[in-house]
Chain A
Amino acid sequence: MTIYDAVSANKRKTIFVMFIFILFVLTISYILSKALGGDGLSFAGAMLIFSGIYTFASYYYSDQIVLALSGAKPAKKTEFKTFFETVENLSIGSGLPTPKIYVINDSAPNAFATGRDPKHAAVAATTGLLQKLDKIELEGVIAHELSHVKNYDTRLMSVVAILVGVVAMLSNIFLRNMWWGNISGRDSNRRDNTIFMLVAVFAAILSPIIATLIQLAVSRRREYLADADGALLTRYPEGLACALEKIASDRHIMKSANLATAHLFIDNPFKSNYNKNWLLNLFSTHPPAEDRIRILRAM
């Protein structure tokens, strides 16, 4: 698979995800409205406009939303000189315009890239990453992120974060509430209860499907490909391998990551102790760091 195949596949998949999202919102709103005894079609029509605008916005503003969700702030060149120089140098090396540079104030080392195309790209790293990695390791991480930008992975991944991720979060909330029985005690309003149960059952059925959609966007091959492209750019796979070791063995957990944005990061921001929850495991989107390190060391 050449980079051009990867780029066109990503563009195609982005449109597919946007289409599926609108279809999904329409179906849900139609059924819910019918179940409540309303006129399903007019409600679904209103939702069509809403979801259309939302999808449109997700395409153009996904980078801004993702950066805001992660608490990323624009970095100052005087303060983060090495980070700036590394991003500039590697952009030159890969022939990309220099992306906007952001910093997340979090002691857990992690990084991600976003943006709908290389001209609107942004790279964000946590302060933990900038403190804990040395220059060669940082180069490895940035090269990996720039490869995501170059392959248009960032377009698909950001749109997925905004569209599918939000649905995933909602269904997760409903599912938890159903299990914990938060609603069983209150039967003063049975009608509300029925609606809630209906949504919860929906969420239960939909969660695996949504998870599959996220998996579609963040196939393991995508991460391995970015690792390989990044290594080609720095000509030093060991740098990224060391960085991944440090990131994976770090015990801090990212406070600013959530289910919607987890797949964007270079390594799973929820550490393994989170994975006791089978639902979160469904959303586990990263190939194991050990495998990636092994492959990088074999290059």
Chain B
Amino acid sequence: MSFVQILIIITVLTVAYFWLTYNSLVTLKERIKEALSTIDVQLKRRFDLIPNLIETVKGYAKHEKSVFEEVTKARSQLLSAKTPKEKADANNALGETLKSLFAVAEGYPELKASQNFLSLQGELTDTENKIAYSRQFYNSNVLDYNTKIKSFPALLFSGYFGFKEEEFFQAEGEEKTPIKVQF
């Protein structure tokens, strides 16, 4: 085999390697985007449930204004969050304020017995579980992608093509376990 032939083979193999690796990185990155949109769907659902919940609680506990304000504020922060980290933080903060809302509800037996309140509480728990699962799916995709761009030899050129490390969707503190609903 002549030198030229060997050179051609090496070039072809190198190009093929870059081609395949580049495409697989693009696929992995698209999967992360898709997984993030799954989280968004669930965050939106949680977002939409909250006004109903506040109205219901207000019907029984008019005077707990500060709690309502906190929840409303945390809710609007969720809307303005853009990056995965901001979204995770806003969602965690919202979880904290909702906890105090449910703590307030504890003091109103009629509210706790209300069918409307119970069904909203149930839906909210379901949504929280769904957020947890979509977060798990997102994070496993991020793990795959990050591992790939940091592995040799993809490491050598992934940065050059603009493949940066992606952030995990963190669950912080108490948010790691779903909120306990007491009856």
* A contact residues vs B (CB 8 Å cutoff): 85, 88-90, 92-95, 235
Are A85 and B126 interface neighbours, CB within 8 A? Answer: yes
In whole angstroms, what is the CA distance A20 to B106 when docked? 66
In whole angstroms, what is the CA distance A117 to B5 when docked? 45
Task: With both chains docked as a complex, state the minimum distance between the C-beta of A271 and any C-beta of chain B, in angstroms.
Answer: 34
User: Which of B31, B134, B141 gathers most chain A CB within 10 Å?
Assistant: B134
Interface size class of B (residues with CB under 8 A): 10 to 19
Task: With both chains docked as a complex, state the minimum distance between the C-beta of B139 and any C-beta of chain A, in angstroms.
Answer: 10
Are A92 and B126 interface neighbours, CB within 8 A? Answer: no
**26 A-B residue contacts at CB 8 Å?**
A85-B126, A85-B129, A88-B130, A89-B126, A89-B129, A89-B130, A89-B132, A89-B133, A90-B133, A92-B38, A92-B42, A92-B130, A92-B133, A92-B134, A92-B137, A93-B133, A93-B134, A93-B136, A93-B137, A94-B137, A95-B31, A95-B35, A95-B38, A95-B137, A95-B141, A235-B136
Q: Is the interface of B mostly helix, strand, loop or mixed?
A: helix
What 7 pairs between A and B have smallest CB-CB spacing? A93-B133, A92-B133, A89-B133, A92-B134, A95-B137, A93-B136, A89-B129
Q: Which residues of B contact A89 (CB under 8 A)?
A: 126, 129-130, 132-133
Which residue of the partner chain B has the closest CB to A96? B137
Task: With both chains docked as a complex, state the minimum distance between the C-beta of A98 and any C-beta of chain B, in angstroms.
Answer: 11
In whole angstroms, what is the CA distance A168 to B17 when docked? 48
Q: Which residues of B contact A235 (CB under 8 A)?
A: 136
In whole angstroms, what is the CA distance A90 to B31 when docked? 18
Q: Which residues of A contact B132 (CB under 8 A)?
A: 89
B window 106-161: CB within 8 A of A: 126, 129-130, 132-134, 136-137, 141
Q: Which residues of B contact A93 (CB under 8 A)?
A: 133-134, 136-137
In whole angstroms, what is the CA distance A235 to B129 when docked? 14
In whole angstroms, what is the CA distance A85 to B123 when docked? 10
Q: Which residues of A contact B136 (CB under 8 A)?
A: 93, 235
In whole angstroms, what is the CA distance A85 to B133 when docked? 12
Task: With both chains docked as a complex, state the minimum distance between the C-beta of A165 and any C-beta of chain B, in angstroms.
Answer: 34
In whole angstroms, what is the CA distance A235 to B136 when docked? 10
Contact with A along B23-53 (1 / 0, CB 8 A): 0000000010001001000100000000000
Q: Which residues of A contact B31 (CB under 8 A)?
A: 95
Task: With both chains docked as a complex, state the minimum distance between the C-beta of B130 and any C-beta of chain A, in angstroms.
Answer: 6
In whole angstroms, what is the CA distance A185 to B152 when docked? 77
Q: Which residues of A contact B129 (CB under 8 A)?
A: 85, 89
| A92-B133, A92-B134, A93-B133 given; 7 more Cβ-contact pairs under 8 Å | A88-B130, A89-B132, A92-B42, A92-B137, A93-B134, A95-B137, A235-B136
Task: With both chains docked as a complex, state the minimum distance between the C-beta of A96 and any C-beta of chain B, in angstroms.
Answer: 10
Task: With both chains docked as a complex, state the minimum distance between the C-beta of B151 and any C-beta of chain A, in angstroms.
Answer: 15
User: Which of B31, B130, B134, B136 gathers most chain A CB within 10 Å?
Assistant: B136
Task: With both chains docked as a complex, state the minimum distance between the C-beta of B167 and any C-beta of chain A, in angstroms.
Answer: 19
Which residue of the partner chain B has the closest CB to A232? B140
Q: Which residues of A contact B134 (CB under 8 A)?
A: 92-93
